[in-house]
Amino acid sequence: MERVGPATGIIGVTVLLIGYSIHGYPPMNATGSQLVSWTQSTDPAVFSLGIYLEAVGIVLFLVSFTWLCAQLWETPSRPWLAAAAFGGALLWGGSSMLENATFAALLSAGRNGVDSHGLAALHAVALNVGSPAGVAMGLASDCNRARLGGPQPARDRGRGLRSFRLDSCGCSTKPRSVACRTCQPAR
Protein backbone atom coordinates (compact mmCIF):
# COMPACT_ATOMS: atom_id res chain seq x y z
CA MET A 1 0.00 0.00 0.00
CA GLU A 2 3.01 2.30 0.41
CA ARG A 3 3.19 2.84 -3.35
CA VAL A 4 -0.48 2.44 -4.22
CA GLY A 5 -1.60 5.39 -2.07
CA PRO A 6 0.63 8.05 -3.64
CA ALA A 7 0.21 6.58 -7.13
CA THR A 8 -3.58 6.70 -6.97
CA GLY A 9 -3.33 10.32 -5.85
CA ILE A 10 -1.22 11.31 -8.84
CA ILE A 11 -3.35 9.31 -11.29
CA GLY A 12 -6.57 10.53 -9.66
CA VAL A 13 -5.69 14.22 -9.91
CA THR A 14 -4.53 13.72 -13.51
CA VAL A 15 -7.76 11.95 -14.53
CA LEU A 16 -9.82 14.53 -12.63
CA LEU A 17 -8.16 17.41 -14.51
CA ILE A 18 -8.54 15.63 -17.86
CA GLY A 19 -12.25 15.09 -17.18
CA TYR A 20 -12.67 18.71 -16.13
CA SER A 21 -10.93 19.97 -19.26
CA ILE A 22 -13.17 17.80 -21.46
CA HIS A 23 -16.57 18.92 -20.22
CA GLY A 24 -16.18 22.49 -18.97
CA TYR A 25 -18.91 24.54 -17.32
CA PRO A 26 -20.94 27.61 -18.25
CA PRO A 27 -19.58 30.92 -16.90
CA MET A 28 -20.32 31.54 -13.21
CA ASN A 29 -22.17 34.79 -13.92
CA ALA A 30 -23.98 33.51 -17.02
CA THR A 31 -27.30 35.04 -17.94
CA GLY A 32 -30.32 32.95 -18.91
CA SER A 33 -29.67 33.50 -22.63
CA GLN A 34 -26.02 32.48 -22.22
CA LEU A 35 -27.13 29.30 -20.45
CA VAL A 36 -29.55 28.50 -23.29
CA SER A 37 -26.69 29.02 -25.77
CA TRP A 38 -24.36 26.83 -23.64
CA THR A 39 -26.88 23.98 -23.45
CA GLN A 40 -27.44 24.07 -27.23
CA SER A 41 -23.73 24.17 -28.09
CA THR A 42 -22.53 21.51 -25.59
CA ASP A 43 -22.45 17.90 -26.74
CA PRO A 44 -24.13 15.75 -24.04
CA ALA A 45 -21.92 12.73 -24.83
CA VAL A 46 -18.71 14.72 -24.41
CA PHE A 47 -20.05 16.36 -21.24
CA SER A 48 -20.98 12.95 -19.82
CA LEU A 49 -17.56 11.52 -20.66
CA GLY A 50 -15.93 14.45 -18.87
CA ILE A 51 -17.96 14.12 -15.69
CA TYR A 52 -17.49 10.34 -15.62
CA LEU A 53 -13.72 10.78 -15.92
CA GLU A 54 -13.86 13.42 -13.22
CA ALA A 55 -15.81 10.99 -10.98
CA VAL A 56 -13.18 8.27 -11.54
CA GLY A 57 -10.48 10.82 -10.67
CA ILE A 58 -12.32 11.76 -7.48
CA VAL A 59 -12.61 8.11 -6.43
CA LEU A 60 -8.90 7.49 -7.11
CA PHE A 61 -8.01 10.63 -5.18
CA LEU A 62 -10.15 9.41 -2.27
CA VAL A 63 -8.23 6.10 -2.29
CA SER A 64 -5.01 8.10 -1.98
CA PHE A 65 -6.50 10.28 0.73
CA THR A 66 -7.55 7.15 2.61
CA TRP A 67 -3.90 6.09 2.59
CA LEU A 68 -2.87 9.51 3.92
CA CYS A 69 -5.47 9.30 6.67
CA ALA A 70 -4.24 5.81 7.60
CA GLN A 71 -0.76 7.31 8.04
CA LEU A 72 -2.25 10.04 10.20
CA TRP A 73 -4.19 7.50 12.27
CA GLU A 74 -0.86 5.97 13.34
CA THR A 75 0.25 9.29 14.86
CA PRO A 76 0.16 9.06 18.66
CA SER A 77 -2.72 10.97 20.24
CA ARG A 78 -3.98 12.35 16.91
CA PRO A 79 -6.52 9.84 15.52
CA TRP A 80 -9.24 12.52 15.53
CA LEU A 81 -7.25 14.40 12.87
CA ALA A 82 -7.50 11.34 10.63
CA ALA A 83 -11.26 11.16 11.15
CA ALA A 84 -11.68 14.90 10.43
CA ALA A 85 -9.47 14.74 7.34
CA PHE A 86 -11.22 11.67 5.97
CA GLY A 87 -14.64 13.19 6.63
CA GLY A 88 -13.58 16.36 4.84
CA ALA A 89 -12.34 14.39 1.84
CA LEU A 90 -15.60 12.41 1.66
CA LEU A 91 -17.64 15.60 1.83
CA TRP A 92 -15.53 17.10 -0.95
CA GLY A 93 -15.91 14.02 -3.16
CA GLY A 94 -19.65 13.73 -2.58
CA SER A 95 -20.42 17.41 -3.10
CA SER A 96 -18.22 17.52 -6.22
CA MET A 97 -20.10 14.59 -7.74
CA LEU A 98 -23.44 16.14 -6.76
CA GLU A 99 -22.36 19.41 -8.38
CA ASN A 100 -21.54 17.58 -11.63
CA ALA A 101 -24.90 15.80 -11.52
CA THR A 102 -26.63 19.17 -11.14
CA PHE A 103 -24.75 20.57 -14.14
CA ALA A 104 -25.73 17.46 -16.12
CA ALA A 105 -29.36 18.16 -15.17
CA LEU A 106 -28.88 21.76 -16.32
CA LEU A 107 -27.60 20.56 -19.68
CA SER A 108 -30.45 18.08 -20.05
CA ALA A 109 -33.07 20.65 -19.06
CA GLY A 110 -31.75 23.17 -21.59
CA ARG A 111 -31.71 20.62 -24.38
CA ASN A 112 -35.30 19.64 -23.52
CA GLY A 113 -36.62 23.18 -23.86
CA VAL A 114 -36.63 24.62 -20.34
CA ASP A 115 -36.76 28.43 -20.56
CA SER A 116 -33.90 30.74 -19.57
CA HIS A 117 -35.42 31.53 -16.14
CA GLY A 118 -35.55 27.86 -15.20
CA LEU A 119 -31.98 27.36 -16.41
CA ALA A 120 -30.79 30.37 -14.40
CA ALA A 121 -32.40 28.93 -11.26
CA LEU A 122 -30.85 25.50 -11.84
CA HIS A 123 -27.49 27.17 -12.54
CA ALA A 124 -27.67 28.98 -9.19
CA VAL A 125 -28.37 25.66 -7.45
CA ALA A 126 -25.47 23.98 -9.28
CA LEU A 127 -23.05 26.71 -8.23
CA ASN A 128 -24.08 26.48 -4.58
CA VAL A 129 -24.12 22.68 -4.35
CA GLY A 130 -20.32 22.67 -4.62
CA SER A 131 -19.80 25.23 -1.85
CA PRO A 132 -19.25 22.61 0.88
CA ALA A 133 -16.52 21.06 -1.27
CA GLY A 134 -14.13 23.95 -0.67
CA VAL A 135 -14.74 23.97 3.07
CA ALA A 136 -14.38 20.19 3.31
CA MET A 137 -11.17 20.06 1.29
CA GLY A 138 -9.76 22.92 3.36
CA LEU A 139 -10.43 20.91 6.53
CA ALA A 140 -8.86 17.81 5.03
CA SER A 141 -5.74 19.63 3.85
CA ASP A 142 -5.34 21.41 7.20
CA CYS A 143 -5.43 18.07 9.02
CA ASN A 144 -2.85 16.53 6.74
CA ARG A 145 -0.67 19.66 6.88
CA ALA A 146 -0.72 19.24 10.66
CA ARG A 147 0.28 15.58 10.26
CA LEU A 148 3.16 16.41 7.96
CA GLY A 149 4.34 19.45 9.89
CA GLY A 150 4.06 21.66 6.81
CA PRO A 151 4.32 25.42 6.78
CA GLN A 152 1.47 27.46 8.15
CA PRO A 153 0.36 30.82 6.84
CA ALA A 154 1.27 33.51 9.38
CA ARG A 155 -2.35 34.61 9.72
CA ASP A 156 -3.40 31.09 10.80
CA ARG A 157 -0.75 30.31 13.41
CA GLY A 158 -2.21 29.46 16.76
CA ARG A 159 -5.81 29.07 15.55
CA GLY A 160 -7.90 25.94 15.15
CA LEU A 161 -6.58 22.80 13.51
CA ARG A 162 -3.66 24.65 11.98
CA SER A 163 -2.10 25.16 15.41
CA PHE A 164 -0.88 21.57 15.64
CA ARG A 165 2.78 21.13 14.72
CA LEU A 166 4.22 17.66 14.24
CA ASP A 167 7.81 16.53 13.84
CA SER A 168 8.97 14.95 10.58
CA CYS A 169 8.33 11.47 11.96
CA GLY A 170 4.80 12.42 12.95
CA CYS A 171 5.40 12.82 16.69
CA SER A 172 3.69 15.66 18.43
CA THR A 173 6.01 18.36 19.73
CA LYS A 174 3.70 18.49 22.76
CA PRO A 175 3.76 16.29 24.99
CA ARG A 176 6.89 14.18 24.68
CA SER A 177 5.56 11.54 27.11
CA VAL A 178 3.93 9.55 24.29
CA ALA A 179 6.31 6.97 22.81
CA CYS A 180 6.64 6.94 19.02
CA ARG A 181 7.31 3.79 17.03
CA THR A 182 9.61 5.73 14.69
CA CYS A 183 11.65 7.71 17.23
CA GLN A 184 11.58 5.28 20.14
CA PRO A 185 11.25 1.74 18.77
CA ALA A 186 10.17 -0.99 21.15
CA ARG A 187 13.06 -2.58 22.99
pLDDT band at 27 (very low <50, low <70, confident <90, very high): confident
The pTM assigned to this predicted structure is: 0.66
Which value, to the nearest 10 degrees, does the dihedral of the CA atoms of residues 163, 167, 173, 176 take? 150
**Lowest-pLDDT range, 48-57, 82-91, 105-114?**
82-91
Q: Nearest 5°: phi and psi at 177? A: -75, -20
Q: What is the pLDDT of residues 29-75, one digit of tens each?
A: 888 889 999 999 999 999 999 999 999 999 999 998 888 888 877 77
Q: Is the pLDDT of residue 98 over 50?
A: yes
Instruction: Domain ranges for the chain, please list them.
Output: 4-163
Q: Which residues contact 176 (CB under 8 A, 6 or more apart)?
A: none
Average pLDDT over residues 137-146: 59
Residue 164's pLDDT is 37
